[in-house]
Chain A
């Protein structure tokens, strides 16, 4: 029988409520039979404590813990969005007796069904953050919305993702960009923001300034056109003891549209006295003080995210095909069964013409998703260049396939062991040059060269190579 569970820091918290549910101390989440918990209750009346409790749920590697719905208990019905949307639901302590609204109950049930449907739900410990975020998005099947906030440097956050991260910085945005670059989620336009070109801060002060001396100390006035004498000058020059009198012809101005009108605005700089109609707009960063015209700042598109069908699939079965997607723009990645057939043909050929030799090359680019996080939004470019590198080193007759996101197996036809060494050397050197020179990132590259002969068992050598990685 499933039941809700109270997450608390110590036993006192839930004793102050009348809600009769079992309590779990957040330090002891692992000791609980988490599969039996229907949703988590978090006392958010003290928001700092509530935040800690929420973080301990979302940062737990077990899908039964971090994917479960979380209900905030509050004393305040008007929670700020950034608090409210960090959890799945919030209820007021006064009215709540353990019964959820029907709509919420249905929503929670579908989340529980999703968790139950995961093939490895209990044993799995979803260690990578990007994977946990992906699963979280898949379990809540609605668009992830950005919220404007003044608490965050970038001006926008995705509140539901914040509890996944220990640092409340840009990490969650980088994870989303990573998932989008892998086509696991799709971003669509939600809003646009000007960010400081220097530091990425969203808080810019927009001021009008003099086009000649850049001073923001401006006086703005309306031009007046007096019909009868054609005099056209700032309104200030017409003011006389509370009346408008034309300084050219001394007539009183009576009615706008009848004897005068106001054709335009005019600015005068109080610093250099120059007069102009269009001031320049200057944006200054509140964070680092950098000033620039708005067009010169970063124009960021703020997106709302939906899962793609690849993403939905990957959320259940794992992230096996990420970098490969990008690599495929440059070279043709053969599905592994197809690769196996190619290899069989090659083995037969070599058997018949004993003179030629071919090689099998395994390459593992470890920590590819860490690399992504460190290069941020430039990952697409970097991976594109990696793809180009593969293409440059390999020949058209070579066949390439992948065994996971980062493990590649390449059949180098008509290539002896020593020639394969050279190709490998060029490939790894190229990758290193690209990543260390441009990003100061030292990639971990594992590799192995296997000669192709009649005795070759592709599945066995592949398993062996992958297994070495696990060690």
Chain B
């Protein structure tokens, strides 16, 4: 039996040979994810509990100053989502907001829906660009119409927890050097399909826990466009967002380069709809993964080289990302080759053990995330535990395949420049200028 075989195999191993068989897990994934989670998240929770007074003081300062916050939601053909978004904005504990919707050349009934909301006084500004300019240009259009001291960037197909705006603003009052804050993106359509269930687990691990850990280590490298808060003066200094895809990571790096801190706020919950089929999901990830190559290695390569603006944490933020995603992506294929050449006889057993190890670490990360979510955790999120055994298949096989393909395409063909995500005119300019 396989189990007997596994036990027999494990009994025959000493420490070093164990490492030789399972080095990718212990050297990289376990230390980087599980171990760090187990150290950083309890530390974060402990400090949060101890810092309750500081949090209270920041909250009082926020409500005393009551800065105007400009909520911007740029997008194309998002009209159908806007009413729900507006509803969740209407229930916020922090109410001094103005809402600016930018319609990036929609060809559906978005303008009609938004004009009705405008006339009903539900939104403050509606701006329509007749010619689609892409996400960056739409967000930058919004910057012309804002009056707030802070900008909250939202994806139209998401909605916020009732205290989300308050929570995402607090870091600015906890540390005046904070330039931008990322909100906690969670899955809204958890139960829609198998794909959305697995993404729920992934988001909890990678976004809620992963970004909190990165933030604590001061190597946070992306603020989600779905829910991010920015100081208006910094956005103006930068001239807003640059051409996407990957504009969220891009602007985060630029803010870091200016010397500001960028933090994640796990308590600021934003619920978003994720792709409901594996096919749609693959397309989305293909786009995301290519932008990693483009932005880390091409556009912001200067971070990796010593110069006058060099900061260690910026270097680490970028290097960690490149190392763990791009370089370690290759390690897997090396590992598989290594196993098949050196231990072809034990290949099935080693793979099964690997699977169990990853399933176990997935479970640990998942429960750490549930702990982190604390009171904002929803029953559906806890119920996803049943799907944990499938997590390694999802992350290890499905996502890895998409990612590898994306990296290869981008490195070899610069495929992202042909992305339909941007209007073709914008893409061709970006390619010509190696942006």
Cα distance A471–B254 in the bound complex, in angstroms = 100
A231 to chain B: which residues have CB within 8 Å?
140, 239-240
Instruction: List 18 A-B residue pairs with CB atoms under 8 Å apart, sorted by A's residue number.
Output: A223-B129, A225-B131, A228-B243, A228-B429, A229-B239, A229-B242, A230-B247, A230-B426, A231-B240, A232-B133, A258-B425, A262-B131, A263-B130, A264-B127, A266-B127, A266-B144, A276-B125, A278-B118
Cα distance A387–B433 in the bound complex, in angstroms = 81
User: Who on chain B is nearest to A221 by CB?
Assistant: B144
Instruction: Find out whether the CB atom of B239 lies under 8 angstroms from the CB atom of A248.
Output: yes
A230 to chain B: which residues have CB within 8 Å?
133-134, 136-137, 140, 240-244, 247, 426
Q: Nearest Cβ distance between residue B103 and chain A, in whole angstroms? A: 9
Given A230-B243, A248-B239, A257-B425, check contact A277 B133 (CB 8 Å).
no
Instruction: Check: A261 CB closer than 8 A to any chain B CB.
Output: yes
Instruction: Check: B260 CB closer than 8 A to any chain A CB.
Output: no
Q: Nearest Cβ distance between residue B393 and chain A, in whole angstroms? A: 38
B315 to chain A: which residues have CB within 8 Å?
none
Instruction: Check: A188 CB closer than 8 A to any chain B CB.
Output: no
Instruction: Find out whether the CB atom of B141 lies under 8 angstroms from the CB atom of A234.
Output: no
Instruction: Check: B126 CB closer than 8 A to any chain A CB.
Output: yes
A249 to chain B: which residues have CB within 8 Å?
239
Interface size range on B against A: 20 to 34
Instruction: Check: A22 CB closer than 8 A to any chain B CB.
Output: no
Q: Nearest Cβ distance between residue B275 and chain A, in whole angstroms? A: 25
Cα distance A233–B142 in the bound complex, in angstroms = 10
A247 to chain B: which residues have CB within 8 Å?
239
Which residues, 220 to 264 on A, are CB-close (under 8 Å) to B? Answer: 223, 225, 227-234, 247-249, 257-259, 261-264
Instruction: Find out whether the CB atom of A261 lies under 8 angstroms from the CB atom of B144.
Output: no
How many Cβ-Cβ contacts under 8 Å join chain A to chain B? 86
Instruction: Check: A391 CB closer than 8 A to any chain B CB.
Output: no
Instruction: Check: A432 CB closer than 8 A to any chain B CB.
Output: no
Cα distance A230–B429 in the bound complex, in angstroms = 11
A257 to chain B: which residues have CB within 8 Å?
425
| 4 tightest A-B CB contacts, nearest first | A248-B239, A263-B129, A230-B136, A232-B140
Given A232-B140, A234-B144, check contact A227 B240 (CB 8 Å).
no
Which residues, 120 to 155 on B, are CB-close (under 8 Å) to A? Answer: 125-134, 136-138, 140-141, 143-145, 147
Interface size on A, residues (CB 8 A): 26
Instruction: Check: B435 CB closer than 8 A to any chain A CB.
Output: yes
Question: Which of A223, A259, A262 lies in contact with B144, CB distance below 8 A?
Answer: A223
A229 to chain B: which residues have CB within 8 Å?
239, 242-243
Instruction: Check: B327 CB closer than 8 A to any chain A CB.
Output: no
New A-B contacts (12) at CB < 8 Å, excluding given A223-B129, A228-B243, A266-B144: A225-B140, A227-B425, A228-B433, A230-B242, A232-B133, A232-B141, A232-B240, A263-B105, A263-B129, A264-B130, A264-B141, A277-B127
Instruction: Check: B356 CB closer than 8 A to any chain A CB.
Output: no
Question: Which of B126, B239, B243, B247 lies in contact with A277, CB distance below 8 A?
Answer: B126
Q: Mark A64-83, 1 if CB is under 8 A from B, else 0.
A: 00000000000000000000
Instruction: Check: A275 CB closer than 8 A to any chain B CB.
Output: yes
Given A232-B133, A263-B129, A264-B127, check contact A227 B141 (CB 8 Å).
no
A275 to chain B: which residues have CB within 8 Å?
144-145
Cα distance A118–B196 in the bound complex, in angstroms = 87
Cα distance A115–B147 in the bound complex, in angstroms = 75
A234 to chain B: which residues have CB within 8 Å?
144
A277 to chain B: which residues have CB within 8 Å?
125-128, 145
Q: Mark B407-435, 1 if CB is under 8 A from A, else 0.
A: 00000000000000000011001100101
Q: Nearest Cβ distance between residue A295 and chain B, in whole angstroms? A: 11
Instruction: Find out whether the CB atom of A228 lies under 8 angstroms from the CB atom of B125.
Output: no
Instruction: Find out whether the CB atom of B429 lies under 8 angstroms from the CB atom of A227.
Output: yes
Which residues, 19 to 73 on A, are CB-close (under 8 Å) to B? Answer: none
User: Who on chain B is nearest to A273 by CB?
Assistant: B147
Cα distance A228–B241 in the bound complex, in angstroms = 11
B141 to chain A: which residues have CB within 8 Å?
223, 225, 232, 263-264
B426 to chain A: which residues have CB within 8 Å?
227, 230
B132 to chain A: which residues have CB within 8 Å?
263
Q: Nearest Cβ distance between residue A210 and chain B, in whole angstroms? A: 13
Cα distance A392–B52 in the bound complex, in angstroms = 76
A248 to chain B: which residues have CB within 8 Å?
239-240
Given A230-B243, A232-B144, A233-B144, check contact A264 B137 (CB 8 Å).
no
Q: Nearest Cβ distance between residue B237 and chain A, in whole angstroms? A: 10
Select the residue from A225, A233, A234, A261 with max chain B CB neighbours within 10 A: A225
B125 to chain A: which residues have CB within 8 Å?
276-277
Instruction: Find out whether the CB atom of B126 lies under 8 angstroms from the CB atom of A263.
Output: no
Cα distance A261–B240 in the bound complex, in angstroms = 17
User: Who on chain A is nearest to B104 by CB?
Assistant: A263
Instruction: Find out whether the CB atom of A228 lies under 8 angstroms from the CB atom of B105.
Output: no
Instruction: Find out whether the CB atom of B430 lies under 8 angstroms from the CB atom of A228.
Output: yes
Instruction: Find out whether the CB atom of A263 lies under 8 angstroms from the CB atom of B137.
Output: yes
User: Who on chain A is nearest to B134 by CB?
Assistant: A230
Q: Nearest Cβ distance between residue A421 and chain B, in whole angstroms? A: 58
Q: Nearest Cβ distance between residue B33 and chain A, in whole angstroms? A: 34
B133 to chain A: which residues have CB within 8 Å?
225, 230, 232, 261, 263
B242 to chain A: which residues have CB within 8 Å?
229-230
A266 to chain B: which residues have CB within 8 Å?
127, 144
Which residues, 240 to 254 on B, are CB-close (under 8 Å) to A? Answer: 240-244, 247
Select the residue from A232, A258, A261 with max chain B CB neighbours within 10 A: A232
Cα distance A73–B132 in the bound complex, in angstroms = 64
B127 to chain A: which residues have CB within 8 Å?
264, 266, 277
Q: Nearest Cβ distance between residue A312 and chain B, in whole angstroms? A: 48
Cα distance A457–B433 in the bound complex, in angstroms = 107
Instruction: Find out whether the CB atom of A261 lies under 8 angstroms from the CB atom of B429.
Output: no
A233 to chain B: which residues have CB within 8 Å?
140, 144
User: Who on chain B is nearest to A263 by CB?
Assistant: B129
Cα distance A277–B128 in the bound complex, in angstroms = 8
User: Who on chain B is nearest to A276 by CB?
Assistant: B125
User: Who on chain A is nearest to B243 by CB?
Assistant: A230
A223 to chain B: which residues have CB within 8 Å?
129, 141, 144
